[in-house]
Amino acid sequence: MGIPVIEQERCTGCRECISVCEPNAIEIVNEKAVIDYGRCYGDTERCRACIEICPQDAIFEMD
Ligand code: SF4
Ligand code: SF4
């Protein structure tokens, strides 16, 4: 169980992760996805939605 971390070099800004994030914890800043850890509940509720959908494998889970 861990928090999602976005590898900025891989992110294409496609917004697919945003479309699946229920608490609206992801936004695009300068064409790259950025996670608001105040909203993300990945750590407590084991949400991996953004990690699973990212077509670039740009999001990984960090313990
Ligand atoms: S789904 Fe992946 S590539 Fe697309 S915006 Fe999110 S982190 Fe970036
Ligand atoms: S782990 Fe879940 S809540 Fe956190 S940013 Fe990804 S989709 Fe949103």
CATH number, domain with residue 13: 3.30.70.20
Task: Give the chain's domain count.
Answer: 1
For residue 63, being part of any structural domain is answered with: no
Please give the pLDDT value at position 18: 98
For residue 36, being part of any structural domain is answered with: yes
Cβ of 54 closer than 6 Å to ligand 2, yes or no, is no
For residue 22, being part of any structural domain is answered with: yes
pLDDT tens-place string over residues 5-47: 999 999 999 999 999 999 999 999 999 999 999 999 988 888 9
- pTM as predicted: 0.94
Closest CA to 22 of 56, 48, 58, 59: 48
For residue 62, being part of any structural domain is answered with: no
For residue 53, being part of any structural domain is answered with: yes
Cβ of 34 closer than 6 Å to ligand 2, yes or no, is no
* Residue 30 in tokens: 């300068």
Q: 14 is in which domain, residue-wise?
A: 3-57
How far, in Å, from the CA of 15 to the mean position of ligand 1? 6
Please give the pLDDT value at position 46: 86
Query: Is residue 1's pLDDT more than 70?
Result: no
